[in-house]
Amino acid sequence: MDLLTAIQANLLSPAVLFFVLGIFAAVSKRDLKFPESLYTTLTIYLLTAIGFKGGVAIHQAGIGAVWLPALCAIALGALIPLWTYPVLRKVGGMSVADAGAIAAHYGSVSAVTFIAATNFLKGVQEPYESYASAFLAVMESPAIIVGVLLGKGVLGGGRFSLSDPGIRHALRDAVLGRGVLLLVGAMGIGALCGKRGMDAVEGFFVTPFQGVLALFLLEMGMVAGRRLGDLRKVGAFLLVFGVVAPLVNGFGGVALGKWVGLSTGGAMLLGVLSASASYIAAPAAVRLSIPEANPTFSLTAALAITFPFNISFGIPLFFEAAKRISH
């Protein structure tokens, strides 16, 4: 399958089309009135399911296979803010707070983008290291910590104190937020249970999984769509950044994945993780610790530009890249 076919197949998947429907609903101001608890419930389900499956995979592959690529993933997450921050400051002319905030979002990861990528791989029947969700788990926090440090101006000798209650709450959230806890917890459970546990809960955690993702993307489409109106407010620089940053990070992640010995599917997933921007963990932690940053900038870039770009074009692109590098 060549790149164009892959892009087309991806664009015509239920997941992406439901996302488009959600955007349409938001843009045409037809509130589908999804209950708040549905959003949370779907998130809990997706994180638990992906974590559990990853854990069962770790059980089968052994921790020995996982630690090195996981370490690379952590390094990637921590490094991305370090290159995005100066670009945001110098090229984008952003304030220290805003640059740090955005850097935190782009270093951290989006679980749903990752899940959409695994579904894509399942669709094109490309195998991947199913323990890859471990990378997802370890990449969420480091970038947030680095980004917050940058946004509080530590580079310029800025004030940063652990006694600041905002920073205290934010760091607690970043290090062991609910997303990480669910993901790592379910992964530990999967690793302890192995195949026997999977047999018991497969009808819940696997059978309906892809359909649940489609429903969730419908909701994400509405969330992203409501932000589209803010695109005017963020300026041309951020529009470009929202596409270029995931491309750079994504190809970097793919290359690193290949280098550390991951399969084509696994390298593609590491690329997708690098390319993705957090819109759950990072926003909350950043809001608490860098309140002077304007959340419209980071959220609009992450949700209304990078997220749609990744799930529509990024995923097949990084897949193609992973295939190329392997040959």
Partner 1 sequence: MNLHSMKLVTIVCESVLEERIVEVLGECGAHGHTAFDVRGGGSQGTRSADLVESGNLQIQVIAKPAVAEVILQRLHADFFRDYAMVAYVGEVSVLRPDKF
Supply φ then ψ for residue 90, to 5 degrees. -80, -55
Partner interacting with residue 279 (select from Na ion, a copy of itself, partner 1, none; CB below 5-8 Å by kind): partner 1
| Cβ closest to a copy of itself, residue 165 vs residue 261 | 165
Ramachandran area for residue 159 (φ above 0: left; ψ -120 to 50: alpha; else beta): beta
Considering the rule CB under 8 A, would residue 36 count as an interface residue with a copy of itself?
yes
Minimal distance, residue 37 CB to a copy of itself, in Å = 3
Q: Which of 8, 5, 16, 6 is nearest to 308 (CA)?
A: 16
Closest by CA to 312, choosing from 279, 264, 276, is 276
Which of 80, 238, 280, 315 binds partner 1 (CB under 8 A)? It is 280
Please provide the distance, in angstroms rounded to a whole number, between the alpha carbons at the two ends of the chain.
15
Contacts 24+ apart (CB under 8 A), 2-8: 2/320, 3/316, 3/317, 3/320, 6/124, 6/316, 6/319, 6/320, 7/312, 7/313, 7/316, 7/317
Name the residues that contact Na ion, by CB under 5 A.
109, 276
Site for a copy of itself (CB under 8 A): how many residues?
A: 56
Binding residue (CB under 8 A) for a copy of itself from 177, 253, 265, 308: 177
> DSSP class of residue 110?
-
Candidates 108-116, 191-199, 245-253, 268-276 — which segment interacts with a copy of itself by CB under 8 A? 191-199
Q: Which residue number, 107 or 316, has a Cβ lying nearer to Na ion?
A: 107
Q: Choose, by CB under 8 A, the member of 16, 299, 301, 311 that binds partner 1.
A: 299
Q: Tell me how far apart the alpha carbons of residues 112 and 127 are, in angstroms, rounded to a whole number.
A: 19
- Interface with partner 1 (CB under 8 A): 33-34, 36, 39, 165-166, 169, 219, 222-223, 226, 279-280, 283-284, 287-288, 291-292, 295, 299
- Interface with a copy of itself (CB under 8 A): 12-14, 17-18, 21, 24-25, 28, 30-38, 40-41, 44-45, 48, 52, 119, 122-123, 176-178, 181-182, 185-186, 188-189, 192-193, 196-197, 200-212, 214-215, 218
